[in-house]
């Protein structure tokens, strides 16, 4: 008898996105991302409800992968931010907050979604053009002959992750290490192309952050026994160590011999045959002058013993993650099967040393061209270590993006307020031709432009979590943080010394306004001049490519959400 399940019809919701329901759905998520933003952002604890590990973080990549959402709007929004993070690593919270703010502001307006989308798309392209133009006053060229701007970028990324628990001195130390590690991954020989090497993170917990260090090459964890029991190294006439890397198991286990049937003649011992084959490969490698054998999986004890007796160092179970960096830095071809062992597969190392960090022992594989490096990262506890690793990876990615696009944006909220001042200025005088092209009235255009600018400014305001307020200066359009309970406007100047990014200093005749009060719009000046750049220390900087993409994704995702009119769910 065949049972037939009747197919359920799809659930079609025609209006899941009325202004009211959209507001309700977004409010919790908006508050969540806003409260995480910036160096004083509040931490979030993620539990899985089953008693598994608890993760504490304020980073968007950790948060978004740590919770699940069911509402289609939130699914779309989180997927967009996660897509952005997959390509750029940084500025996820910025993207999420800006998108939520745009949707929130739209709800207060009396314009159609269509008009809102057309006008804000126009404003977005104005922002993009400005950010790419020579006249842009919130971006800075990167001088690769000095470490100042690159260090500022890395430090800014690390210090906006409070769960890392870094002091200023520690943040400076880790920033230098991340930059140093990044420089190791750039090939010295430009003719080899632009393939960057790898930085591997080696966890050493319960040691001081200041004990963190970068080593060229790879650190492979070994047992204590290995440490004292290593034979003297065999080197070739040039002094280099010949390396054989196996991605196949050398355990002699038949489970590793692939698929298909094995026919065994009567009286033949399969184990003995396989072991004989392993030992023959060992002999071959000894004859070829191999000094180090590295295996991704297990090496049979008899082969290990044979290699040791013949002065060859063997390291097993290094894992798949090390295969690519090993190949990159030694020039070896990982050997997938014993039959494919040949001298063409061998690579070379400059040296091999042993190192000890806390209770852990390592072989330090030192290449002649250190395109691969290991960052030994120490932090107070597991939570702080996990967070620091993600922050370092984000910073490393930001450096890679900066090499491709050699600019940085002013951070600390200054890019948002400067851009908003610029858009307020340009949109105050819109030509009839543009209004006609957008199919809207001057009044509609102004309403949407004001919402767009307020959304940008509200992202800058989210950096404030302690009841202070945010001011914007009328000269450069940068944001300034005012402590809570400050007296009237005339006394502001006493409480302000520099702007959010740290580039603009207080000067005679400078005036400020609160972000909610708008004065007559004027073109914000640029303060990015060579002299001020070289004199300003500890600038807060943002990754140019990541922030620009975040801006685009935020606006386009808001449009996508406003354009949703039906949600169709398959219930089968």
How many CB atoms lie under 10 A from the CB of residue 505? 14
According to DSSP H, which parts of 37-88 are helical? 60-66, 72-88
Smaller CB distance to Zn ion: residue 504 or 551? 504
Q: Give the residue with the Cβ less far from Zn ion, 103 or 131.
A: 131
Q: Which is nearer to Zn ion, 116 or 512 (CB)?
A: 512
Degrees to nearest 5, angle at CA 366 with 364 and 372: 100
Give the N- to C-terminal CA distance of the chain in Å, as an integer.
Answer: 22
What distance in Å separates the CA atoms of residue 450 and residue 516, rounded to the nearest whole number? 11
In this complex, which beta carbon is closest to Zn ion, that of residue 213 or of residue 472? 472
- Nearest distance from C-beta of residue 529 to Zn ion, angstroms: 13
Q: State the minimum distance, in angstroms, from the CB of residue 533 to Zn ion.
A: 12
Cα–Cα distances in angstroms (integers) from residue 509 to residues 367, 475, 491, 493, 505, in the given order: 59, 10, 14, 10, 12
User: Which of 367, 411 has the CB closer to Zn ion?
Assistant: 411
CB of 173 or CB of 478, closer to Zn ion? 478
Smallest separation, CB 419 to Zn ion (Å) = 12
Residue with Cβ nearer Zn ion (56 or 474): 474
Pick the closer one to Zn ion by CB: 329 or 409.
409
User: In the structure encoding, which two tokens stand for residue 500, read together?
Assistant: 């959010």
Q: Which is nearer to Zn ion, 372 or 460 (CB)?
A: 460
CB distance 328 to 372 below 8 Å: yes
Other C-beta atoms closer than 10 Å to the C-beta of 359 total 8
Residue ranges in contact with Zn ion by CB under 5 A? 414, 478, 499, 501, 503-504
The distance of closest approach from Cβ of residue 130 to Zn ion in the complex, given in angstroms and rounded to an integer, is 16
When the beta carbons of 377 and 503 are compared against Zn ion, the nearer one is 503
Q: Write the CB contacts of 408 (distance below 8 Å, at least 6 apart in sequence).
A: 139, 140, 142, 149, 152, 153, 402, 541, 542, 543, 544
Rounded Cα gap, residues 38 and 160, in angstroms: 5
504 vs 553 by CB, closer to Zn ion: 504
Find residue 315's DSSP bridge partners. 294
Q: Minimum Å distance from CB 425 to Zn ion?
A: 18
Q: Say which DSSP state 228 is in.
A: H
Least distance from Zn ion to the Cβ atom of residue 317, Å: 51
Nearest distance from residue 94's CB to Zn ion, in Å?
A: 16
> Minimum distance between the CB of residue 174 and Zn ion, rounded to whole angstroms?
24
Where b means 16+ CB within 10 Å and e means fewer, 282-297 reads beebbeeebbbbbbbb
- Looking at the Cβ atoms of 478 and 548, the one nearer to Zn ion is 478
Residue 302 near residue 281 (C-beta atoms within 8 A): no
Q: How far apart are CA 46 and CA 49, in angstroms?
A: 9
- Least Å distance, CB 485 to Zn ion, is 24
CA distance 299 to 248: 10
Smallest distance from the beta carbon of 403 to Zn ion, in angstroms? 24
Indicate the helix (H) or strand (E) that contains 201.
Answer: strand 198-205
Give the C-alpha distances (Å, rounded to integers) separating 267 from 13, 62, 261, 273, 416: 72, 58, 18, 11, 79
- CA-to-CA distance for 198 and 193, rounded, in angstroms? 15
Residue 537 CB, shortest distance to Zn ion, in Å, is 14
DSSP-derived 3-state class of residue 348 = strand
Q: How far is the CB of 414 from Zn ion (least distance, A)?
A: 3
Beta-strand ranges (E) seen in 31-128 are: 44-46, 55-57
């Amino acid at each position: 008898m065949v049972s037939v399940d009747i197919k359920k019809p799809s659930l079609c919701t025609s209006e899941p996105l009325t202004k009211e329901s959209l507001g309700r759905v977004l409010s919790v998520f908006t508050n969540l991302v806003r409260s995480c933003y910036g160096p004083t952002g509040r931490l979030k604890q993620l539990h899985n409800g089953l008693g598994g590990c608890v993760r504490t973080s304020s980073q968007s990549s950790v948060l978004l992968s740590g919770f699940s959402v069911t509402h289609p709007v939130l699914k779309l929004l989180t997927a967009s931010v996660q897509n952005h993070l997959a390509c750029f690593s940084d500025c996820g919270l910025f993207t999420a907050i800006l998108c939520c703010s745009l949707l929130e502001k739209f709800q207060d307006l009396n314009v159609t979604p269509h008009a809102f989308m057309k006008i804000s798309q126009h404003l977005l392209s104005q922002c993009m053009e400005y950010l790419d133009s020579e006249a842009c006053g919130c971006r800075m060229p990167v001088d690769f002959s000095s470490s100042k701007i690159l260090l500022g970028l890395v430090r800014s990324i690390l210090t906006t992750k409070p769960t890392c628990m870094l002091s200023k001195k520690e943040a400076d130390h880790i920033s230098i290490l991340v930059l140093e590690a990044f420089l190791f991954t750039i090939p010295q020989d430009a003719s080899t192309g632009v393939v960057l090497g790898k930085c591997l993170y080696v966890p050493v917990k319960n040691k001081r952050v200041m004990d963190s260090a970068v080593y060229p090459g790879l650190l492979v964890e070994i047992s204590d026994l290995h440490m004292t029991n290593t034979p003297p190294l065999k080197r070739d006439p040039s002094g280099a160590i010949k390396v054989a890397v196996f991605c196949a198991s050398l355990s002699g286990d038949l489970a590793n011999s692939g698929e298909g049937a094995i026919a065994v003649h009567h009286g033949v011992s399969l184990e003995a045959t396989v072991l004989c084959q392993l030992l023959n490969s060992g002999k071959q490698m000894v004859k070829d002058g191999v000094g180090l054998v590295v295996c991704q999986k297990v090496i049979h004890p008899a082969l290990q013993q044979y290699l040791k007796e013949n002065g060859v160092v063997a390291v097993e179970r290094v894992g798949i993650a090390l295969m690519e960096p090993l190949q990159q830095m030694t020039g070896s071809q990982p050997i997938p099967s014993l039959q494919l062992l040949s001298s063409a597969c061998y690579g070379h190392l400059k040296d091999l040393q042993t190192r000890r960090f806390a209770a852990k022992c390592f072989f330090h594989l030192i290449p002649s061209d250190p395109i691969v490096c290991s960052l030994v990262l120490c932090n107070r506890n597991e939570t702080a270590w996990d967070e620091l690793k993600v922050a370092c990876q984000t910073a490393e990615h930001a450096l890679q993006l900066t090499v491709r696009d050699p600019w940085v944006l002013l951070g600390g909220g200054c890019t948002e307020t400067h851009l908003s001042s610029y858009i307020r200025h340009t949109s105050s005088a819109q030509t009839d031709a543009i209004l006609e092209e957008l199919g809207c009235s001057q009044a509609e255009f102004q309403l949407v432009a004001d919402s767009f600018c307020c959304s940008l400014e509200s992202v800058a305001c989210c950096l404030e979590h302690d009841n202070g307020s945010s001011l914007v200066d009328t000269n450069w359009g940068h944001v300034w943080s005012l402590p809570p309970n400050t007296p009237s406007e005339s006394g502001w100047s006493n409480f302000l010394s520099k702007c959010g990014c740290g580039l603009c200093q207080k000067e005679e005749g400078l005036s400020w306004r609160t972000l909610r009060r708008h004065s007559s719009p004027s073109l914000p000046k640029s303060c990015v001049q060579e002299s001020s750049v070289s004199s300003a220390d500890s600038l807060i900087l943002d990754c140019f490519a990541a922030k620009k993409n975040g801006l685009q994704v935020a606006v386009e995702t808001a449009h996508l959400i406003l354009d949703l009119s039906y949600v169709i769910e398959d219930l089968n």
